[in-house]
Amino acid sequence: MNEFELIERIFSQMQATHAPSTGIEKGIGDDAAVMALPAGSRLVSCIDTLVQGRHFHADWQKVDELAFAIGYKAVAVNVSDIAAMGATPHSILLALALPERLANHEWLTTFAKGLFHACQLFGVTLIGGDTTRSERLVLSVSAQGLLAAGTPAVYRSGARVGDKVYVSGSLGDAAFALQHPDSAQGIELAHRLHMQRRVLH
């Protein structure tokens, strides 16, 4: 399927089943998205790129198996950055460099289900993006969030000696899953790497 068929048959149809974030005047299907920002609010933006063989398994069979998790993770790593700044996640843009072997209805549908599951979970809307062909799978998601009037942004430079740092789960599990992807324990811990729910502050 070509780019326009992919957008219409997979992403536009699935997006239609989800309630959009407030203030979206135009989302998927045009040259650019249009958003109406609440009076006094500020826009917070970030982008993350996930590359096959670095952020998830290079093996094609694993990529097939991880379709849902890859879609979920692409959203989660971005909205967590927005939340870390003290903003409310609002919307995302998706750039998808897609190998020929993955440009099929089954893989794309499963991937989109993971992506939209995360969107629904974190209250964001897919408002557009781009697709192109590639030798390996590469995804870039840009996320937008809103800071309400009078709400200060939380910067890394604001950290002070004596601040408390909280973590959840066991430290090192995700790293072990990357370093030992074919071991029994690595396979078990891959869930923490790909599907761990990010804590929104």
The pLDDT tens digits for 121-163 are: 999 999 999 999 999 999 999 999 999 999 999 998 988 999 9
Q: What is the CATH number of the domain that holds 12?
A: 3.30.1330.10
User: For residue 15, is it within any domain?
Assistant: yes
Confidence band for 4, pLDDT divided at 50, 70 and 90? low
User: Residue 190 contacts by C-beta under 8 Å, 6 or more apart in sequence?
Assistant: 177, 181
User: For residue 175, is it within any domain?
Assistant: no
Determine the pLDDT at residue 19. 76
Stated pTM of the model: 0.84
Please write the tens of the pLDDT for every residue from 14-69: 877 777 888 999 988 888 999 999 999 999 999 999 999 888 888 899 899 889 99
User: For residue 188, is it within any domain?
Assistant: no
Q: What Å distances lie between residue 110 and 32, 104, 191, CA to CA? A: 25, 10, 17
User: For residue 37, is it within any domain?
Assistant: yes
Q: Which two tokens stand for residue 192?
A: 């923490």
Q: Is the pLDDT of residue 201 over 50?
A: no
User: For residue 163, is it within any domain?
Assistant: no
The number of distinct structural domains making up the chain is 1
User: For residue 79, is it within any domain?
Assistant: yes
User: For residue 58, is it within any domain?
Assistant: yes
Tell me the angle at which helices 67-84 and 105-122 cross, rounded to the nearest 10 degrees. 30
Domain span including residue 7: 3-149
Determine the pLDDT at residue 200. 39
